Chains A and B, each alone.
Chain A
Amino acid sequence: MNPTCPSEQVASIIATHQDRPGALLPILHAIQDAMGFIPPDSINEIAGALNLSRAEVHGVITFYHYFQTTPPARHQIQICCAEACQSMGSERLMQHAEAAASGSTNYAVHPVYCLGLCATSPAMMIDDQLHARVTPDKFDRLINKIGSES
């Protein structure tokens, strides 16, 4: 964990980026990169620094699927549910993964619409690691691996 307290961290991120043109998305990315999510109480500070209303900042955060406003599970699993992966059985993989994830505090499963691995489907990403041609068996092996690492 970063030793500085969250609000100091947010303030320093804002200071780094606020003079860039179109600074809001870079700021939100930097906060999520550093803290894993965008704490709702950072909205005030961001809005103040960029001369926006809180509603505008909230609107942007909630518009984009990528931004999260609650602390994430330890591991993020994104399974591609777009057409190319569907043609190779991603629906079955998603059902399998959702069943496996229910009740897990270690990881959360989210759908994603295309990871650009469409010729090696189905594809998924565990945190920042990509995996292709994922069968339910391969999914279980990968999950066991992150289970034993944590």
Chain B
Amino acid sequence: MSVKIFVPGDSAALALGADDVAQRISAEAARRNISITLVRNGSRGMLWLEPLVEVQTEQGRIAYGPVTADDVASLFDADFQQGGAHELSQGLTEEMAYLKRQERLTFARVGITDPLSIDDYIEHEGYKGLRQALTLAAAAIVQQVTESGLRGRGGAAFPTGIKWQTVLKADAAQKYIVCNADEGDSGTFADRMLMEGDPFVLIEGMTIAALAVGATQGYIYVRSEYPHAIAVLNKAIVVARAANYLGSDILGSAKTFELEVRKAAGAYVCGEETAMLESLEGRRGIVRAKPPLPAIEGLFGKPTVINNVISLASVPIIMSHGAAFYKDYGMGRSRGTLPFQLAGNIKQGGLIEKAFGVTLREMMYDFGGGAASGRAIKAVQVGGPLGAYLPEAQWDTPMDYEAYTALWAVLGHGGIVVHDDTADMAKLARYAMKFCAIESCGKCTPCRIGAVRGVEVLDKVIANQDRPAQLTLLTDLCDTMLNGSMCAMGGMTPYPVLSALKHFPQDFGLANTGVQHA
């Protein structure tokens, strides 16, 4: 009987040699006359163990990792294809503490199924949500999503159902669904892992969105830095269309939904929704003034639902299991789960899907095992390059949108970047300004000019030129950027800058009591 062996095709696994491992396994199996079926699955998200090879046994899947091509012969010697003992054995995958402590709803299938097998997808509850949605009126779908409490997972946390309701009510012959897959934040890779590991769930989510608001065309705007995600999505769309889950008369419902992947071109600001629309229309990614809201006048001037990958990919399970099931997870007004991404200087980095309410300390120590360098953790940036740096005093706050707002921090897209005690926070603050200067679209002055001035001022602070006056200037400048910028690019760059200054004043040459901000 043929043994099923899984070697991830996820980018992170590929970057650590998964293709070589897969080739070696095939060659070694052929040489030993062992019949295997090789599946290139998504990643389980335990990225320090990649490439994580799994074998299907009667007891369940058994994991081995991190495997290099040179380990393959010894794995066969140990009969790993039957689950044999080996120093790289991690035991039953499902029993691994890192996975077992998670609540995987949106990522339920990632790492388990063959990403491009629609049969596999359907066997694992795929397309149940769409089938349910097809029995409902548009307003009833929107109602379910609203009741689930789902909020935009891209960072802004706007209630998804309310957005859909606005598009549903808008009267237009053409409406669009746009998926924002321009995941540019450092420390985030959930969108990428999901698109590479379970593309059909995103396609299903977008199709449900289309039914909910009456849209017939969708676009997935994917960053050019994600070539593998683009390739997987393009293949999945072809498969879904061939199986009548996309295109005209979806499953005999007389409903039409076409879907296309559009490749971005390396501009961070295009993750801002109106800049993304400009880019999709073929222009420079310049932020538009709001109103009009994209829900009223969006892509090509038509009512448009714009949601992040994770928001859309969470819709199928809400439809198949009901709003109450999803809402049962989480705390306060943050309902459901968030796929957190633990990254940077951390021993066990990876994808951790948990209900809201978990703390940073649990993330970094219970899951992450501390800094990769073995040193003390100093600061953690949550929510991408526009998110605040959190000092240890804030690591026990539950991760919830409102609790983070109260800390003058943001959860954003759930990226967690850990820095050890060698980090220089003044340098990181300068980098935040520099990044803004590089990536600013240039439309508004506070961002375009402010970021350049911010770098200059911080250079003077770091060089100890007239430091007190420069810090006053920096605070004023941040105030202007916060209140005067058109979008989050300039408007949130002060978060990392001022939080670094507030919590780590010694890095700016100040006494520990420092200046108080925000």
Which A residues are within 8 Å of any B CB, using their own CB? 21-26, 28-29, 50, 56, 59-60, 63-67, 80, 82-88, 112-121, 123, 125, 128, 130-133
Contact = CB atoms under 8 A, between A and B. Distances in A.
Interface stretch (B344-352, B393-401, B476-484): B344-352
Interface in B242-266: 262-266
Given A29-B265, A64-B267, 15 more contacts: A21-B281, A23-B282, A28-B265, A60-B283, A88-B344, A113-B438, A114-B186, A114-B225, A118-B417, A119-B189, A119-B350, A125-B225, A130-B14, A131-B15, A133-B16
A116 B225 contact: yes
Contacts of B265: 25, 28-29, 64-67
A129 B16 CA distance: 10
A119 B347 CA distance: 9
- Identify whether the interface residues of A are mostly helix, strand, loop, or mixed: loop
B194 to A, nearest CB: 11
Contacts of A114: 184-186, 188, 225
A116 B284 contact: no
B408 interface: no
Contacts of A112: 225, 266
B450 interface: no
Interface string B48-69: 1010000000000000000000
Interface stretch (B101-109, B138-146, B318-326, B418-426): B418-426
Interface in B145-195: 183-189, 192
A21 B300 contact: yes
B296 interface: no
B446 interface: no
Given A66-B265, A114-B184, A87 B420 contact: yes
Contacts of B343: 84, 118-119, 121
A83 B285 contact: no
B226 interface: yes
Contacts of B264: 25, 64, 66
Contact of B345 (A56, A87, A113, A133): A87
Interface residues of B, number: 57
Given A60-B283, A87-B418, A116 B342 contact: no
A-B CB proximity, top 8 nearest? A119-B349, A82-B186, A24-B282, A118-B343, A64-B265, A66-B266, A130-B15, A132-B15
Interface string B430-442: 0100010011000
Specify which of B184, B227, B282, B344 lies most central, judged by the most chain A CB atoms within 10 Å of its CB: B282
Contacts of A118: 186-189, 341, 343-344, 349, 415, 417
A121 to B, nearest CB: 7
B267 A25 contact: no
B262 to A, nearest CB: 7
A126 B285 CA distance: 27
B349 A25 contact: no
Interface centre among B192, B283, B438 (most CB of A within 10 A): B283
Given A82-B385, A113-B439, A130-B15, A63 B183 contact: no
13 contacts: A22-B282, A24-B283, A25-B262, A29-B224, A29-B265, A114-B186, A116-B12, A118-B417, A119-B189, A119-B346, A119-B350, A130-B11, A133-B16
A25 B263 contact: yes
A66 B264 CA distance: 9
B508 interface: no
A85 to B, nearest CB: 7
A28 B350 CA distance: 35
Contacts of B262: 22, 25-26
B372 interface: yes
B11 A116 contact: yes
Given A65-B266, A84-B186, A119 B282 contact: no
B189 A117 contact: yes
B308 interface: no
A83 B187 contact: yes
Contacts of B192: 116
A136 B262 CA distance: 35
A149 to B, nearest CB: 16
A27 B16 CA distance: 33
A24 to B, nearest CB: 3
B267 A65 contact: yes
Contacts of B227: 128
Contacts of A113: 184, 186, 268, 435, 438-439
